[in-house]
């Protein structure tokens, strides 16, 4: 019985490692997302992550996974927008040139800001056991109004 318990625990640990993110996974997601954006929107976005992100700390793999999922989600939101027509494609390509994923350790709710076509989306890490990203929550609002959605008060 003890061996079975140990095997179950080992399997769960390996499963959690498989789902954890890494810089390699992030880079692969950037390539996949830009391929899809080129196909559906006619342009690509310069995706990056803040050099201040620490993927080596206790929640580093969770943070990397959130960066990866943020990029994937932004791509999905952009593609949904671009599929609405050529005018939507042109607007996306003009309004979003870069997306940087950064971290805000002081908030519990993620948010996104922009300076022209340069977008920075913040992952909220105040509660490391409940890391949250903004995903594509800003894409449609920003493209329709040229303003980012209001931030939640923490």
Q: Is residue 76 part of a domain?
A: yes
Structural domain boundaries enclosing 79: 22-145
- Percentage, residues of the chain above pLDDT 90: 73
How many domains does one find in the chain? Answer: 1
Q: Across the strands, what pairs with 104?
A: 124
Q: Is residue 8 part of a domain?
A: no
Question: Can you give the pLDDT at residue 100?
Answer: 97
Q: Is 140 inside a domain boundary?
A: yes
Neighbouring residues of 23: CB distance < 8 A, sequence distance ≥ 6: 55, 64
Global confidence as pTM: 0.84
CB 12 within 8 A of CB 4: no
pLDDT tens by residue, 44-60 = 999 999 999 999 988 89
Domain membership flag for residue 13? no
Asked whether residue 52 is domain-assigned, the answer is yes
pLDDT of residue 42: 98
In a domain, 138, yes or no: yes
52, 102 Cβ separation under 8 angstroms: yes
Structure tokens at 8: 């179950």
DSSP string covering 5-71, please?
A: HHHHHHHHHHHHHHHS--HHHHHHHHHHHHHHHHHHHS---EEEE-TT--TTSTTHHHHHHHHHHHH
How much is the average pLDDT of 59-80? 95
Whether 17 is covered by a domain: the verdict is no
Residue 7 lies in a domain: no
């Amino acid at each position: 019985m003890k061996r079975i318990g140990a095997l179950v625990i080992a399997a769960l640990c390996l499963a959690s490692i498989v789902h954890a993110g890494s810089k390699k996974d992030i880079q692969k997601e950037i390539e996949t997302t830009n391929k899809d954006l080129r196909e559906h929107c006619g342009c690509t976005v310069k995706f990056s992550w803040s050099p201040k992100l620490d993927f080596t700390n206790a929640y580093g793999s969770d943070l990397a996974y959130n960066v990866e999922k943020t990029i994937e989600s932004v791509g999905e939101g952009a593609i949904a927008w671009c599929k609405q027509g050529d005018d939507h494609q042109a607007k996306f390509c003009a309004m979003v040139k870069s997306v940087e994923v950064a971290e805000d350790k002081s908030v519990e709710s993620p948010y996104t800001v922009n300076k022209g076509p340069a977008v920075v989306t913040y992952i909220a890490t105040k509660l490391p056991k409940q890391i949250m990203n903004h995903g594509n929550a800003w894409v449609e609002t920003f493209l329709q109004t040229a303003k980012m959605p209001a931030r939640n008060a923490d």
